[in-house]
Amino acid sequence: MSRIGKKPIELPAGVTVSIADREITVNGKLGSLKWTCHPDMTVTLDDQKKRVLCSRKEDTRQNRALHGLTRALIQNMVIGVSQGYEKRLEIQGVGYLGAIDKDILQLRVGFSNEVHKKIPPDLNVTCPDQTHIVVQGMDKQKVGQFAAEVRAIRKPEPYKGKGIRYEGEHVHHKAGKTAQ
């Protein structure tokens, strides 16, 4: 039995879940998220104890994997509509900076031209200063995806450490060819 899948999902105050056929809708103070679960998974709502339970029909390898995945995705939706998700990026390098103009993230990260990245409408992206970027939103996948795409524009390089990295990320530095 999946250890993650069999754990119930506790619903915090202010979060409501509705299940229609296989479509799960989670509403909270930050908004609403929808997801359609796999036909082999069964999701039930226990209104008395304010929790959601996931179960599987068969014990095949795929269903065991989907059991934990289903529970994790619903848990992420519950956390997303109640608290939200946040990723912080920092820009390191001389002359490297970031700014926001309407719905476009502008990055100067050592290329001949500025890099412009369109911000998705359901994410909130801010630059508290020129060397930090904060990505916030309800959907954990979209927040992580956008942060990864921004980081991929200029990954931190191992010699001087210049580039865009997650806040607190350790970049292993290599010795240059003069160190022998």
In the chain, what are the domains?
Answer: 9-82 (3.90.930.12), 85-166 (3.90.930.12)
**pLDDT at site 115:** 96
Percent of the chain with pLDDT over 90: 86
Percent of the chain predicted with pLDDT > 70 = 98
Six token digits for residue 141 = 């996948």
Q: Are 100 and 125 in contact (CB under 8 A)?
A: yes
Residue 3 has pLDDT above 90, yes or no: no
* Inter-helix orientation angle 61-82/140-153, to 10°: 90
> Is the confidence at residue 22, as pLDDT, over 70?
yes
- pLDDT greater than 70 at residue 27: yes
- State the chain's mean pLDDT as an integer: 93
Cα gap 132→83, rounded to integer Å: 22
pLDDT per residue as tens digits for the range 118-153: 999 999 999 999 999 999 999 999 999 999 999 999
Give the model's pLDDT for residue 49.
Answer: 84
Are 33 and 139 in contact by the 8 Å Cβ rule? The answer is: yes
Predicted TM-score (pTM) of this structure:
0.91
- CB atoms under 10 Å from CB of 3, counted, come to 8
Order of strands across the sheet that contains 23-28? 16-20, 23-28, 31-36
